[in-house]
Amino acid sequence: MPGIALPAFPDDVPIHSLPTIDFELVKADNPAEIDRLWQAAVTLGFWYLKNHGAEQEAKAMFELGAETFALPLEEKLNYEQGDSGRSFGYKKMGGNAVDASGLPDMTEFLNVAKDDALAFPEVVHRTYPPAVTAAIPSVVRPFVCKSLEVNITILRIFTRRLGLPEGTLEQLHARDLPSGSEARVTRTPPMPGKDTADRPAIGAHTDFGSLAFLHNILGGLQVLLPGQTQWGYVKPIPGHAICNVGDALTVFSGGILKSTVHRVVPPPGAQGEHERWSLVFHTRPNGAQMLRALVEDSPVIAESARQYPEGKFDTGSTVAEWYARRTKYQRLGNREGPQSWAASRGTEHNPAAR
Ligand SMILES: O=C(O)CCC(=O)C(=O)O
Ligand SMILES: [Fe+2]
């Protein structure tokens, strides 16, 4: 459980060092820091974020996750997300595939919709276990609001840098329009002695949405940076969130922003003896928005999109449809064969990676 003394991240495993962006400087419009953020987003798609101001809110969310996961499985299954393509609610361990062979995942999720948190006590999407419902005003909503503040600030910067009219990305991620945005707590049981690549806890994927704001305690997250063939761990650093770009921003930006493949494997070294917890806020665009490059709105995006095969960023679907397809075919309950895994994929650079 979060909070107990844990072994340090080992120093003999391959890591990818990511740049650290200072959110205070970004908010203060510091040009050099904004440049560094932009460089990270268009090259690696991943960066650390310090001074984000969400530590207390994150801690409370971890505690709520612990309380929820401690419920009997039978009770948790009453809130299971199901196989329809919706992710809100509880996801049982083994509900998803981690690769084309249909190997089951090893992680349980609690996913609370941004819309349910902000509209509470009104129910927009679904209901949650009573302890979660009771904690929406005091725990979930504050975390959602802090996370949105961080991600919307970053989206404003991307709007400018992409040459889009002011407010474009903010409007595509409107607070009060329905979306797949959600707060997620994850728990993976200890997997001591497991070879990392043999037993992913969460399979290789790109994120479905726009921006992830992730809080890690133990290692286990690995990324496959663009152009590289070696997975590297992202070492958790206290007080530093890990941020990454998701598929929706890659598509909107005509390939300028990089949505990078990542996965979760058992924590390395002695950390593998412990349960792994993570917390993430996934910011996703308005569900009704068509998912395609914003070529009419920005010459920079039009120019970038031209360098890719025609139609690459014309998904032909709304954000909600794209997201539902990916969620649905990841579910083992919908699996018909390797084609189901293929149907769950996004803009991954290397769809065969696991
Ligand atoms: O737990 C982690 O470190 C990553 C979780 C993740 O990739 C996701 O929720 O999309
Ligand atoms: Fe992810």
- Give me the interface pTM, i.e. the ipTM: 0.99
pLDDT of residue 292: 97
Is residue 223 one of the residues assigned to a domain?
Answer: yes
Three-state secondary-structure class, residue 171:
helix
pLDDT given at position 193? 66
Whole-number pLDDT of residue 209? 96
Q: Could you tell me the CATH number of the domain that includes residue 339? A: 2.60.120.330
For ligand 1, whether the C-beta of 221 sits within 6 Å is yes
- In angstroms, rounded to a whole number, what is the distance separating the alpha carbons of residues 32 and 34? 5
| pLDDT of the residue at 309 | 92
Mean pLDDT by 10 residues, the chain (354 residues): 78 94 98 98 98 98 98 98 97 93 94 98 98 98 98 98 98 98 96 69 93 97 90 96 98 97 93 95 98 98 96 94 93 92 77 44
The 3 state secondary structure assigned to 179-235 is ECCEEEEEEECCCCCCCHHHCCCEEEECCCCCEEEEEECCCCEEEECCCCCCCEECC
- Cα of 215 from ligand 2 centre, angstroms: 12
Whether residue 349 is contained in a domain is answered as: no
So what's the pLDDT on residue 350?
46
pTM for this prediction: 0.96
What is the domain extent for residue 81?
Answer: 20-343
Give the H/E segment covering residue 244: strand 241-245
- As a whole number of angstroms, the distance between CA 265 and CA 311 comes to 34
279 lines ligand 1 (CB under 6 A): no
Q: So what's the pLDDT on residue 32?
A: 98
Q: What is the pLDDT of residue 5?
A: 83
Compute the distance from residue 220 Cα to the ligand 1 centre, in Å: 10
* Residue 122 within any structural domain of the chain: yes
Whether 280 lines ligand 1, by a CB cut-off of 6 Å, is yes
Which pLDDT value is given to residue 354? 41
Instruction: State the pLDDT at residue 352.
Output: 45
The number of distinct structural domains making up the chain is 1
Say how far apart CA 247 and CA 206 lie, in whole Å: 7
The verdict on residue 1 lying in a domain is: no
- Is residue 12 in some structural domain? no
Is residue 121 reached through a cis peptide bond, with omega within 30 degrees of 0 on the bond before it? yes
Q: Which of 93, 105, 108, 202 to mutate to test the pocket of ligand 1 (most atoms within 8 A of CB)?
A: 202
Q: Which residue owns the Cα nearest ligand 1 atom 1?
A: 278
